[in-house]
Amino acid sequence: MGRETVIWIVIGCYVIFMLAVGILNSRQGGGMADFTVGKRNAGAWISALSYGTAYFSAVMFIGYSGSSGWQFGLYSTLVGIGNAVIGSLLAWLVLARRTRSVTHRLKIKSMPQLFEKRYQSQGIKLFSCIVIFIFLLPYSASVYKGLTSVCSVLLKIDEQVCMVMIAIASAVVLVLGGYVATLKADFVQGLIMMVGVFLLVVMVVASPQVGGLAQGLSNMAGYMEQSGMNNLTLQSAISLVAMILMTSIGTWGLPQMVHKYYGIRDDKEVKRGTIISTFFAVLVAGGGYFIGSFSHLFFGDTLPAGGKDYIIPNMLNVAHLPDILVGIVLVLLISASVSTLSSITLTACSTASMDLVKARLRPQLPDKSVAILTRILCLLFVIASYLIANSNTPILDLMSYSWGILSGAFLAPYALALYFKRLNRAGAWAGMLSGFGVAMLPVLGKLFFNGWQAPFGLGLMMDQGPLFACLAMLVSVLFCFLFSLLARKLGWPSGAENTEFYGEKV
């Protein structure tokens, strides 16, 4: 049996499973509550693995691990450690319990609804709804590009065919089953990812190019010493820290990640989910970036054809992996990508249908009609992501632009609101708009000013997505506090507190 036949058989089994999950869950309720948060009865394993599979997609395995490994060598493993400690462990400890509690009590189904309840502002709800729908599109497109690069190298099939396959898989689960289907699919896909990454690390380390763990680390350390990669320049150190922070703290403000807390059953499941989520991130993110850190042992100083997006696919292609493992790796990447796509699409489209169409345009629209509209929007979102993915923008840029804008605008007004009762509408507006504006600078450079240079000799502005994402989050936090204080001092109406959000009686 040939290599490609084995790979296609493994992928075929996965596709059949996804179809079964979607069809079996297609009759479980027709309203928006069922479609977006299920019965709010998810256990720790399902919630944690759903969080992890939404977090780590082919963007991480292909785009980030490849580019960071090529640029930083063994230092790139710090990104995976940051994702596990900050992006998973601290995120769950700080955000999960309080988010679950308030969204259960107030029956909140989306991030714009949370902002509306907390800041008593239809304007903030509308602004966040539009930003979420528009700027989750490039992130969705980056997932397509990450997976198609590896499929085209290992399966020798056209990238367009790969994209269509991914779109169909994610659309089937979403349109047929909604939130419950994605949770169940994410649970199994999370298990696949853990097994797949473990086997992949073992086989890559055992490959002739690496020659075992001790030999590989020694060879890579020698290469870094010889090439000068060991001594990070100030610019390289800033880039590395920015990447760690953006991919770790940045997840705290992403609506599709926050959404995973809404459906958790109780606080006991939150505690268990914290442990499971952290373990998952250590294995998957740590393993993914660890593999990428050996890229120079495979290619020396010569970047593979196609650029950094093709480093990992070509590593897998020349590592002499067993056919069955290559099939498992592809299913791992497809699983990670479909899970992330499903979370992104569900978040963006349910937000648009509930918080824009029903809340602003058609208030009398029945609940089941809103659910149907959401399914239609999911299909349109998948198609739009496919079209954007056909641009020549690198994976890293697409993702950093999206994460930077969303986290820059939402992290501070969301996370701070869970703890600080004196944060008010004026502070929220200031934080959102300032974070959004700072994170937009690299995007404007990409779209309109290709030669625009970033300050302090950092290079082209359009290449500074991670750095400006971090700056946006910091500026947003400062503006939230500053304008909240200013509004209270000056007696603005927007400076009023909202103690009812915390369950207190007025």
Q: Residue 305 gets which letter from DSSP?
A: T
Token pair 């002499």 is found at 320
> What is residue 506's predicted lDDT score, i.e. its pLDDT?
41
> What is residue 395's predicted lDDT score, i.e. its pLDDT?
64
Q: pTM value?
A: 0.85
Of 279, 286, 262, 339, whose CA–CA distance to 88 is shortest? 279
The H or E element that residue 459 is part of is strand 459-460
Q: Residue 87 gets which letter from DSSP?
A: I
Instruction: Tell me the three-class secondary structure of 17-33, residue by residue.
Output: HHHHHHHHCCCCCCCHH
Q: What is the mean pLDDT of each run of 10 residues along the chain (506 residues)?
A: 70 71 57 53 81 80 82 91 95 94 88 92 92 87 72 68 70 60 69 83 89 91 87 84 90 89 88 94 91 90 80 82 76 73 80 83 79 82 79 69 90 94 94 95 84 77 86 95 94 86 65
Distance (Å, whole) CA 506 – CA 504: 7
> What is residue 367's predicted lDDT score, i.e. its pLDDT?
74
Sign of the four-CA dihedral 68, 72, 73, 77: negative
Side-chain half-sphere exposure of 219, counting CA atoms within 13 A: 17
Instruction: Tell me the three-class secondary structure of 184-217, residue by residue.
Output: HHHHHHHHHHHHHHHHHHHHHHHCCCCCCHHHHH
> What is residue 487's predicted lDDT score, i.e. its pLDDT?
94
Q: Domains of the chain, with CATH numbers?
A: 3-502 (1.20.1730.10)
